[in-house]
Amino acid sequence: MRHLTIALALAAGLASADPAAAQEPTAEPPLADQISDISRQLLDKLRPLAQALGVSFPDVRDRMEPLIRAAVPTPPPAGADWAFDMSFDNTTSVTGDGAAPEEGRQSVFNDAQACIARFPDRGPVVHFRRIRQGGLRGHQCVLAGVAGDEAVLFSETYVEGPDRHLTARYTAAATVAGDAAATLALVDPVVETNIALAAAIAQLSLDGLPSARVRDGD
């Protein structure tokens, strides 16, 4: 089994106990620098995944960096107490005897209704796709919900073959403290770009799934 987990966070505009200090230009790094930092962190964590899959890391970097930057929302007005974070987890399971690995095995969904049944508390489905790639088949469910001033987008991609399967999960969460309307305004423009990023991260492992092998120590 191959397993990689990453959790990153970007927070900006955090309220200060001293209103004057909060307005100081040096109170926090510029947003562009913060986005660059989260992009570097995410790409650093993607490096071992690319190496495990035998994928050229420069190619991964060139492919992923624009998606990462596009997935980070534009901040709310100055002084708002807000935060945004993204995380992902890709797990590939392969057996050496040709039998189907049972741990983590799922059903392949044919429609969005099945996503709702699997994740009844994640909110409505904002994206669903069926996946067919060579002899592999699967699906991607993306759900998004808002509770008070917190918004969460969750994606799960599942793909299987006779002796292997892949589960790739991606979560993006945002909040503007005490302001539900501002939270919606923050995340609405980046729903599609976060869906695209989730699909791209899953695709890295999906591209390596046909050639995945059981390794010593697995």
For the chain, 218 residues long, give each residue's pLDDT as a single digit of tens. Answer: 444 444 455 444 333 233 343 344 445 566 677 777 777 777 787 777 777 777 777 778 888 889 988 998 988 887 789 988 888 888 888 887 777 777 888 999 999 999 999 999 999 999 999 999 999 999 999 999 999 999 999 999 999 999 889 999 999 999 999 999 999 999 999 999 999 999 999 998 898 888 877 665 54
**How is residue 181 annotated by DSSP?**
H
**Is 154 in contact with 202 (CB distance < 8 Å)?**
no
**What does the alpha-carbon distance between residue 66 and residue 86 come to, in Å, rounded to a whole number?**
15
> How many folded domains does the chain comprise?
1
Q: Is residue 218 part of a domain?
A: no
SS3 105: coil
**What does the alpha-carbon distance between residue 148 and residue 134 come to, in Å, rounded to a whole number?**
43
Q: Is residue 132 part of a domain?
A: yes
Q: Which residues contact 113 (CB under 8 A, 6 or more apart)?
A: none
**What does the alpha-carbon distance between residue 199 and residue 139 come to, in Å, rounded to a whole number?**
11
Q: Is residue 217 part of a domain?
A: no
| Residue range of the domain that includes 105 | 2-208
**What does the alpha-carbon distance between residue 31 and residue 128 come to, in Å, rounded to a whole number?**
32
Q: Is residue 195 part of a domain?
A: yes
Question: Which pLDDT value is given to residue 165?
Answer: 92
Give the residues across from 80 on adjacent strands. none
**What does the alpha-carbon distance between residue 50 and residue 66 come to, in Å, rounded to a whole number?**
17
- Tell me the two tokens of residue 218: 């697995």
Q: Is residue 47 part of a domain?
A: yes
